[in-house]
Amino acid sequence: MEFSLINTQIQKFDGDTVVVFSNSEVTFNDVNIQQLIELNHFESKPGATLLLSLVQGFKASKVLVVGLGDLPNNAKNYIKALTAASGILSSTKTKSAMVAQVDIENFDESWTHKVSARVLKDADYEIQQVGAQEKTGTLENIAIQSTHNDAHELLQGSSIASGMKLARHLGDLPSNICTPTYLAQTAQDLAKEFDLECEILEESDMSALGMGSLLSVSKGSIEPPKLISLSYKGDANSKPIVLVGKGVTFDSGGISLKPGAGMDEMKYDMCGAASVIGTMRAIAEMKPKLNLTIVVPAVENMPAHNASKPGDVVTSMSGQTIEILNTDAEGRLILCDALTYVEKFNPEVVIDTATLTGAVIVALGKHHCGLMANDQDLANDLISAGKESLDTAWQLPLDDEYDELLKSNFADMGNIGGREAGSVTAACFLARYTKNYRWAHLDIAGTAWVSGAKKGATGRPVPLLTQYILDRAK
């Protein structure tokens, strides 16, 4: 799918379909379209569509009217409208489309270009059935109406969508295919395609580094663990931004076994990993002037005779000991060693993303992801990047009172803090390993995938992370 900007009237576009936006109780400039809107009693509800053929005065054979609701146009309605438009464009096998210029409240034209490219390309994602060939959509060219011709925002939107596509694909793959080894192979393939540095640590390497916490999670599984690092270098002399993504390719809970209902969704417990790999893809496509390293601890959490048991005590790479009170709180056990490991990159900042706690869904639902940080400037930057990319985060506290809940009689800490404030105590656990750098944690358990009839990965928080990184390149 290729994007371009064009500076012509909608009537003169000579491709297949022109997409135009209409507001409730506002008359359309083009009288022919206005007549047809009235004839069809089209009400311009956000995301409603009306497909018109052979409209008088138009070179294109079809005009797709999409509702934006009431003025002023807001960003959420614009995304609804674009997503609806994309559905019609693909079901009508459209090859070339023009998207009419539209003003969105609080955002400028460049933003609109970026979001249009991203949403239209992302809406084209289809779940790939196991064994089937990758399907390619029919839509080849999208021209976005504009009076200026700086197309770099289109590249940004399109690259973010490529990153989201990769993240969604990895998330949607079943855990018998998307294993730690598969994630490592994916990273190596990316390294080859974009000339990145890739390093994969094996179980013996991690053992030599003293990663007793990470290995306590993988030891009950037949799948070998991997610690994946992938680096993009776009600037010779600056410290890297480091992203860490939780890569539990299946979370059965281990000996603290999860209930059966909905357990299939624990294949999505590597969506943190998928999102940092996707973000790396987006950044590698755009090549901004900065350095980015992603680190993925990848394991499978299974019950077995040799799995960790509640009450076991392990020593992390940092030297701190942990009493594993619940083997289902495994995300923090792999992240803590990864967070110690990343010190070797001398990071500017470290941001981890993880499907860490069910409690974050109770706190925030599926709308915002949870954000916790040891540095308020970093938290603020992530909140802004979330608003800009419409992939939002909401901050939760990290006070000492919560940290005290991790006390153990048998080790430096337990791996759970009890029923209350589960997302915060999980982050307090991680905070004990991130004292040497600026750090933020995104709990994406509620936002990385959707359940129900439309079950599937969302690609979040690739937009937020990529926007945060692009903001640093300015």
**According to the binding rule CB under 6 A, does residue 251 interact with ligand BES?**
yes
- Which one of the spans 17-25, 44-52, 108-116, 354-362 is the region binding ligand BES (CB under 6 A)? 354-362
Residue 30, Cβ neighbours under 10 Å: how many? 19
Closest distance of CB 451 from ligand BES, Å: 9
Determine whether 332 is an active site residue.
Answer: yes
**According to the binding rule CB under 6 A, does residue 72 interact with ligand BES?**
no
Nearer to Mn ion, 330 or 388 (CB): 330
Contact letters for Zn ion, residues 267-306 (x by CB under 5 A): --x-------------------------------------
Q: Contacts with Zn ion: how many residues (CB under 5 A)?
A: 4
Residue with tokens 């438009």: 85
Restricted to residues 223-252, the positions that interact with Zn ion (CB under 5 A) are 248, 251
Q: Which of 266, 275, 273 is closest to 298 using CA atoms?
A: 273
Closest distance of CB 426 from ligand BES, Å: 7
Q: Contacts with ligand BES: how many residues (CB under 6 A)?
A: 15
**According to the binding rule CB under 6 A, does residue 214 interact with ligand BES?**
no
258, 309, 366, 387: the catalytic one is: 258
CA–CA separation, 402 vs 71, rounded Å? 45
**According to the binding rule CB under 6 A, does residue 359 interact with ligand BES?**
yes
- The bridge status of strand 17-22 relative to strand 62-67 is parallel
Transcribe 318-376 into DSSP letters: TS-EEEES-TT--HHHHHHHHHHHGGGG--SEEEEEE---THHHHHHTTTSEEEEES-H
Residue 287, Cβ neighbours under 10 Å: how many? 12
**According to the binding rule CB under 6 A, does residue 358 interact with ligand BES?**
yes
Determine whether 118 is an active site residue.
Answer: no
Assigned token pair, 96: 């070339």
- Name the residue whose CB lies closest to Mn ion: 328
Residue type, 318: S
Closest distance of CB 420 from ligand BES, Å: 11
Q: Which of 278, 181, 175 is closest to 226 using CA atoms?
A: 181
The answer to whether the peptide bond before residue 310 is cis (omega within 30 degrees of 0) is no
**According to the binding rule CB under 6 A, does residue 355 interact with ligand BES?**
yes
385 phi-psi bin (left φ>0, alpha ψ -120 to 50, beta other) = alpha
Nearer to Mn ion, 46 or 254 (CB): 254
CA–CA separation, 185 vs 240, rounded Å? 23
Name the strand (E) or helix (H) holding 450. strand 449-450
Assigned token pair, 282: 């987006």
Residue 141, Cβ neighbours under 10 Å: how many? 15
Assigned token pair, 51: 């497909």
Q: What is the DSSP letter of 82?
A: H
Contact letters for Mn ion, residues 221-260 (x by CB under 5 A): ------------------------------x---------
Helix 180-194 vs helix 271-286: angle between axes, to the nearest 10 degrees?
A: 0
**According to the binding rule CB under 5 A, does residue 323 interact with Zn ion?**
no
Nearer to Mn ion, 328 or 352 (CB): 328
Nearer to Mn ion, 118 or 246 (CB): 246
Q: What is the DSSP letter of 144?
A: E
**According to the binding rule CB under 5 A, does residue 352 interact with Zn ion?**
no
Q: 299, 329, 440, 442: which one contacts ligand BES (CB under 6 A)? A: 329
Nearer to ligand BES, 118 or 246 (CB): 246
Which residues here bind ligand BES, judged by CB under 6 A? 251, 269, 326, 328-331, 355-359, 416, 422, 445
Give catalytic residues, as residue numbers: 258, 332
- In the complex, the residues that contact Mn ion under the rule CB under 5 A are 251, 328, 330
Residues contributing to the site for Zn ion (CB under 5 A)? 248, 251, 269, 331
